[in-house]
Amino acid sequence: MAIRMAKLYRTASGRWASRKVIPKDVRDAYGQGEAKVTWDAGLTEGQAKAALASWLAEVESRIAALRAAAKPADTLPALELSQRECRALAGLWYADLKARYEENPRDAEAWEVAQEEVIPEETAETYHLTEAEAAALPLRVSPWIRQEAASLLIAKGLKLTERATDRLHQDMASLWLRFAGLMVRRANGDWSPDPLPQTLPIWQEPAAMTPTVETKGPTTDELFDAYVKERTPAAGTLRNWRLYFANLRRFLGHDEASRITKDDIVRWKDHLLTTPIESTGKPRSAKTVSDAYLASAKAVFQAAVDNGRLPSNPVLGVKVRAPKKTRLRDASLTDDEAHTILSAALSVRLSKRPKPYELARRWVPWLCAYTGARVNEMTQLRRCDVVEREGVWAIHITPEAGNVKTEAARWVPLHSHLIELGFVTFVQASRQGPLFYTPREKETEGAAPAYQRIGQRLAAWVREIGVTDPAVQPNHGWRHRFKTVARGRLDIEARERIAGHAPRTEGEAYGSWTLGSLAEQVEKLPRYDLPAKPEARSRES
């Protein structure tokens, strides 16, 4: 279906924005008469137009889904539910809210504001009402609650009379008020049992219901593609998640998302934890199953629930219980290990025409030591990413070059020792393009990108030169060591900014650091004044 482009414009604050009027036939189910969105002011016009097209496609897809879901209900008689039935139906929604939000409640203040969304504007104080009169006032029904009610009715295959719909809206607003109060208590550390569910009646299908026309719901691939279109995950994430979903399809033997139950996910989890992988002969670790397979499925299915494509998320509540691993040492590289790697890097013998892996061995460990960057953030560096700005030599770590975990670019000043060692001179003498790998015209589909392969090869080399303790990761150990060395020396906010970690508080996220200020912080790191050790060269050198 052709998508009618909405207008793209700038707000008073400079952010890109757009809006689209929702058609009348789905307005109630959508929950609002007009969809609005904004994007970061730093986007180029081309990037903003691409974001607009993706957003409009999502809105149109949701409109189409609501229309498709509403068609069977058109053939049903409008039911007049009793007070008990409406409360029971709203109770199903309350249980779903708990599954969605209770495990990780937001800030208490946010939930206090949420309570105010349904409280009547006509208070006893302003209209001189008695307490009984004030308590009898109908609660406000926000557009979001109307949308949730429409999705609930679609999921249950129900069509209600206007009076029953109003009663359901009031019950849902009432339960929302109670639920927001529960979340305030949870956010403040009160995890005592919630007594409300015991007071709610059990939902039973009304006898007057006519069997609904069964329609095939979305496939797992369709839900995954919708998630990708909305969230645009990094290339590495996209590649891995496709593999996880392919595994889920093979295990279940079908791809109908609406047929997947929590029991199915539990069986899949058990299968992943007990079935050996051909390449290793061992089952997947509990961490991999939890943080990769289940996390990806949970995110995609929750996005489908949020957008009205699924009634519930079958992954919610499924957890992997595993004993904590015994830790015999810190994840940070020790002084001896760091010195071994850096000395070996200094000793790398470069060919007349240096090969990419030689250059990576020579410079990437030193870059990681002084920046705390992830190894792939260094192996993907391009000549254009090393520049002098504001009188400071710095590297630009950007998603334009490859994978950046946070999808946020950052500038990191170069330590003066790196410049003295000749890194800037090396960069200036390099060809345009990547510094540590040769790009191919076409990468093999599903294969790791070249900069990741260089990182893997670098890790193998570190093992070869003597850093063999399996408790430390040969590349990521630098990131831990940077934090170890920086503690007590660098400003806390600067330390997180340089390493690319999220700020601890919303307040710390405000403002920015000048390169000059960051350079002063970087120079507080002690120098690694080490001799080269020719005997530490690997066989390939």
Classify 19 as helix, strand or coil.
strand
Task: Measure the CA–CA gap between 475 and 481, rounded to whole angstroms.
Answer: 11
For residue 367, what pLDDT band results from cuts at 50, 70 and 90? Answer: very high
The token pair that represents 397 in the structure block: 């770590």
Task: Measure the CA–CA gap between 502 and 479, rounded to whole angstroms.
Answer: 15
CB 406, CB 500: distance < 8 Å: yes
CB 528, CB 417: distance < 8 Å: yes
Averaged pLDDT for residues 501-507: 78
| Domains of the chain (ranges, CATH numbers) | 1-75 (no CATH), 84-124+131-206 (no CATH), 220-306 (1.10.150), 335-536 (1.10.443.10)
15: which residues sit within 8 A by CB, 6+ positions away?
A: 38, 39, 40, 41
Task: Measure the CA–CA gap between 368 and 370, rounded to whole angstroms.
Answer: 6
Position 483 pLDDT exceeds 70:
yes
DSSP character string of 318-360: -----PPPP--S-SSPPHHHHHHHHHHHHHPPPPSS--HHHHH
Q: What was the pLDDT predicted at 136?
A: 58
Please name which of 112, 77, 71 lies closest in space to residue 215, comparing C-alpha atoms.
Answer: 71
DSSP character string of 250-315: HHHT--BGGG--HHHHHHHHHHHHHSPPTTTSSPPPHHHIIIIIIHHHHHHHHHHHHTTS-SS-TT
Task: Measure the CA–CA gap between 230 and 305, rounded to whole angstroms.
Answer: 14
When comparing pLDDT for 132 and 413, which is higher? 413
Q: What was the pLDDT predicted at 27?
A: 78
Strand order in the sheet with 9-10: 9-10, 16-21, 34-39
pTM of the model: 0.52
Q: How many CB atoms lie within 10 A of CB 358?
A: 17
Q: What was the pLDDT predicted at 211?
A: 44
Read off the pLDDT of residues 292-302 as tens digits, 9 standing for 90 and up. Answer: 899 999 999 99
Read off the pLDDT of residues 98-147 as tens digits, 9 standing for 90 and up. Answer: 887 787 777 777 777 777 777 765 444 444 445 555 555 678 788 778 87
Q: Report helix angle 108-116 to 162-187, nearest 10.
A: 160
Which of 119-123, 191-195, 278-282, 382-386 has the lowest average pLDDT?
Answer: 119-123
Read off the pLDDT of residues 172-188 as tens digits, 9 standing for 90 and up. Answer: 988 998 998 898 898 88
Q: What was the pLDDT predicted at 209?
A: 56
Position 539 pLDDT exceeds 50:
no
Which of 50-64, 156-170, 470-484 has the lowest average pLDDT?
Answer: 50-64
For residue 96, what pLDDT band results from cuts at 50, 70 and 90? Answer: confident
Sign of the dihedral defined by the CA atoms of residues 59, 65, 69, 71, in that order: positive
When comparing pLDDT for 255 and 531, which is higher? 255
